[in-house]
Copies of this chain bind each other. A is one copy, B any other.
Amino acid sequence: MYGEKDAARGDAATFLWLTEEFGELASALRSGTHEELAAEMADVLAWLATLANIRGVELEAAVLRKYGRACPGCQAVPCVCDPAEKP
């Protein structure tokens, strides 16, 4: 639905939009309604997907590759990494 405009905008300008939505997510997290929070999360995901499209990344495949089997840190399900460590 946004293909041509996305390609014309490019990745850096798209990251700027994503960042703006990221800020709005912080606001909604702090003081938004449940509906507003859900909408801001949708916006962040939509702009992330746009960025992935522009750079030729298959977003779903990338998630499955990294997180599809088990925790990439400890290789266990559920994760048994030290809580102070990432993730």
Contact = CB atoms under 8 A, between A and B. Distances in A.
Interface of A: 1-5, 8-9, 11-12, 15, 17, 19, 22, 25-26, 29, 34, 37-39, 41-48, 51-52, 55-59, 61-63, 65-67, 70-71, 77-79, 83, 86-87
A71 to B, nearest CB: 6
A34 B46 contact: no
A22 B69 CA distance: 23
A37 B57 contact: yes
B57 A48 contact: no
25 contacts: A1-B70, A1-B79, A2-B78, A2-B87, A3-B78, A9-B83, A11-B29, A15-B25, A15-B26, A15-B29, A17-B86, A17-B87, A22-B22, A38-B57, A38-B58, A38-B61, A38-B62, A39-B65, A39-B66, A41-B51, A41-B57, A42-B59, A42-B65, A44-B48, A48-B48
